[in-house]
Amino acid sequence: MRNFNEHTITDAVLARVGGAGDPRVREISEALVRHLHAFVREVRPTQKEWEYGIDFLTRTGQMCDDKRQEFILLSDTLGVSMLVDAINHPVPEGATETTVLGPFFVQAAPEKQVGDDISGGMKGDPLLVTGSVSADDGRPLAGAVIDVWHSDEDGYYDVQQLDKIGDLSMRARFHADADGRFHFWSIKPAAYPIPHDGPVGDMLEAQGRHPWRPAHVHFMISAPGFEQLVTHVFVAGDKYLDSDVVFGVKDSLIREFLQRSPGRAPDGRTAEQPYFYLHYDFGLKHDARRGMAA
């Protein structure tokens, strides 16, 4: 087969990829070819535009390292990450809604004890976070693993400023107590722009979009027999709730960060200065692939 043109090239490529031995690889490859070719036929790019597209993807890859994932940013800002999330995480009653992981998760988060201050001495308004983890039927999940991370008062994450602060902060890994409860102290996060000094930033500018995310705290929670929960809790009243650049906001994930006066805090500690207080109860969805938890 040769001498392909605009009308015959798609069928030729489909015939080639149709030989894939793995049915799922064949299904994905065929769909990719069909939709990609349809996109090209619709927009009819010039040769120069095609070259720019190749350069854009090349620069996106070149921006990726162990501290920044530009392709995740691209997926996030095009709504693909939230679409994949919605497809894969239908939420039953009693389970917490999911949202995007984001580019600043770190596997090796420092292990902390419930009640610890994870701020690492960063400046900002003190924040007390309390919460619980349960199954979607309401049963407490003792020992659930809770990863948390968030920005500082200026909207920066620790990994964006390690050369200045020297170590990870405003992130930790906890284990829920026998009643599925946990609490910790930190500082109140701020709204922030996603990294926009690379190709994704160029794209947003060309599309007339801002790069901002509303203030939030990230949570990743897991327990045996349950699907891992990846979510945020957003600060109520933030001006970017309705224009989150990565489309991650859901009403059920918005909470008041209540301002409290000095005195006895809900965890029993005496607060010497005003602080903010967040409480959230998380529900995990049973993992159907592993059956019901014991």
Give me the residue spans of the domains in the chain.
9-67, 71-284
The model's confidence at residue 292, banded by pLDDT at 50, 70 and 90, is very low
Q: Which long-range contacts (CB under 8 A, 24 or more apart) does 251-258 make?
A: 252/96, 252/97, 253/96, 253/97, 253/99, 253/216, 255/279, 255/280, 257/127, 257/188
pLDDT computed for residue 59 by the predictor = 98
pLDDT digits (tens, 9 = 90+) for 194-229: 989 999 999 999 999 999 999 999 999 999 999 999
Instruction: Return the CATH superfamily for domain 71-284.
Output: Aromatic compound dioxygenase (2.60.130.10)
pLDDT digits (tens, 9 = 90+) for 120-131: 999 999 999 999
pLDDT computed for residue 34 by the predictor = 98
Q: Which among 262, 234, 273, 229 has a CA at the least distance from the CA of 250?
A: 234
pLDDT digits (tens, 9 = 90+) for 160-180: 888 888 899 999 999 999 999
